[in-house]
């Protein structure tokens, strides 16, 4: 497609018109990423006119690596009964939370494999005990595949599960396990929940009044049409519920994975920036887009701030899942602030719902605005 035609699509979107599926496909087929970046940056600036780019201080706690399904893109899981399985104790989890709070953290992202033996009571006990010990600390836990697994074990519908977990102290839900929301792709690489089940869990999450993020991991054998369908499904659900706080795309990390040994082409930096920019332009009903510096590296992660992202994500005190598959980038708060400033923005700590967090050196107690 010629640059003129690409610009026509971008001009329509900049004039406030919703992008069609056909237009989205044309953009993703084009190599004209500079034009897409400029348009995505303009839409980002309109949504966030304060010139602020946010980041969060939290950590990922993976409470267990036991998993009873197989995803060929995953290097983290261990089959039940394998010698190197683990389940974190309550004390171990608390130790990690104490470290996070000492660094100014506001919450944790806690996820695990799909344990075959844990019913809803196990999750409720954990959440209740953590809420009691750390009131105000945000528990952003359990992706849709874990909720679906709970549904299979406890024989409860998604809405009942979400209402009970919310009552026990769950603050919000991470959007993990989406990968590509298209069963043609999902069935080839995983035996976990289907596209509709992932979307239905999210619908239940939003119905009980919780918010969640939405994610996308591409480069797992998907084609452009699958990526477009993924975006369409997220946009449709957001139209229905308005419950997504953010969209976070990243690329498949191949090391130590069965799929990585099979797949020849992996997404490049250009693919990532294009996907991010097109997502910002297509998903006109989502406010926040996160740069995935953990998978793309700090430098490309910084450039992503000019391709539609308004958030640098987490300082990642701990991460075990994508790092097991080869994403070994590291950053502390100072580094993220530096990268944000050098890209021309004002760095600002946020909490899990994207509210700004203010803390002073003398008074580490967090205040939410
Ligand atoms: S991605 Fe999650 S569900 Fe899939 S194998 Fe890994 S831990 Fe299990």
What average pLDDT does range 293-317 have in this prediction? 94
CA distances from 159 to 124, 240, 244, 246, 356 (A): 15, 16, 17, 22, 30
DSSP assignment of 61-78 equals: EESB-B-SS-BTT-SS-B
Beta strands in 299-345 (DSSP E): 311-314
Q: Which of these ranges, 79-83, 125-129, 214-218, 363-367, has the smallest mean pLDDT? A: 363-367
Dist. CA 352–CA 171, nearest whole Å:
9
Q: Which of these ranges, 102-106, 206-210, 317-321, 333-337, has the smallest mean pLDDT? A: 317-321
Residue with CA closest to ligand 1 atom 2: 113
Q: What are 73-120's pLDDT values in tens digits?
A: 999 999 999 999 999 999 999 999 999 999 999 999 999 999 999 999
Say if residue 160's pLDDT is above 70. yes
Domains of the chain with bracketed CATH: 47-368 (3.20.20.70)
Q: What is the pLDDT of residue 315?
A: 87
Mutate to test the pocket of ligand 1, among 62, 64, 66, 71 (most ligand atoms within 8 A of CB): 71
Residues 6+ apart with CB under 8 A from 159: 204, 207, 208
Q: 297 burial class (0-12, 13-18, 19+ CB within 10 angstroms)?
A: middle
Say if residue 363's pLDDT is above 60. no
What's the pTM?
Answer: 0.94
Q: Is there an atom of ligand 1 within 6 Å of 67 CB?
A: yes
Q: What are 209-228's pLDDT values in tens digits?
A: 999 999 999 999 999 999 99
CA angle 53, 59, 65 (to 5 degrees): 135
Dist. CA 96–CA 63, nearest whole Å:
11
Distance (Å) from CA 172 to ligand 1 centroid: 20
Say if residue 32's pLDDT is above 50. yes
Residues 6+ apart with CB under 8 A from 163: 208
């Amino acid at each position: 497609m010629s640059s003129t035609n690409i610009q026509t699509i971008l001009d329509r979107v900049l004039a406030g018109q919703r992008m069609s599926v056909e237009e989205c496909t044309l953009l993703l087929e084009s190599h004209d990423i500079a034009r897409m970046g400029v348009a995505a940056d303009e839409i980002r600036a309109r949504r966030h006119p304060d010139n602020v780019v946010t980041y969060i201080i939290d950590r990922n706690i993976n409470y267990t690596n036991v998993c009873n399904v197989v995803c060929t893109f995953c290097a983290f899981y261990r089959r039940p009964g394998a010698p190197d399985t683990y389940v974190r104790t309550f004390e171990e989890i608390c130790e990690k939370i104490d470290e996070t709070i000492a660094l100014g953290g506001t919450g944790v992202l806690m996820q695990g494999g799909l344990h075959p033996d844990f019913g809803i009571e196990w999750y409720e006990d954990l959440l209740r005990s953590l809420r009691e010990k750390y009131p105000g600390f945000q528990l952003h836990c359990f992706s849709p595949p874990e909720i679906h697994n709970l549904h299979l074990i406890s024989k409860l519908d998604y809405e009942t599960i979400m209402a009970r977990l919310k009552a026990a102290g769950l603050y919000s839900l991470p959007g993990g396990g989406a990968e590509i929301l298209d069963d043609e792709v999902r069935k080839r690489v995983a035996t976990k929940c289907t596209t509709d089940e992932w979307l239905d869990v999210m619908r239940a999450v939003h119905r009980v009044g919780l918010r969640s993020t939405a994610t996308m991991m591409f480069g797992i054998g998907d084609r452009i049409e699958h990526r477009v369908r993924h975006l369409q499904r997220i946009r449709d659900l957001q139209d229905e519920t308005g419950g997504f706080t953010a969209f976070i795309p990243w690329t498949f990390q191949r090391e130590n994975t069965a799929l990585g040994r099979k797949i020849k082409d992996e997404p490049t930096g250009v693919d990532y920036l294009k996907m991010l920019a097109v997502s910002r332009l297509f998903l006109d009903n989502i406010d926040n887009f996160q740069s995935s510096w953990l998978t793309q590296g700090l430098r490309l992660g910084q450039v992503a701030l000019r391709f539609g992202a308004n958030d640098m994500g987490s300082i990642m005190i701990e991460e075990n899942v994508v790092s097991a598959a080869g994403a070994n980038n590291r950053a502390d708060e100072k580094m993220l602030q530096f990268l944000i400033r050098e890209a021309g923005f004002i760095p600002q700590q946020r909490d899990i719902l994207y509210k700004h967090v203010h803390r002073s050196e003398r008074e580490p107690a967090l205040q939410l605005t």
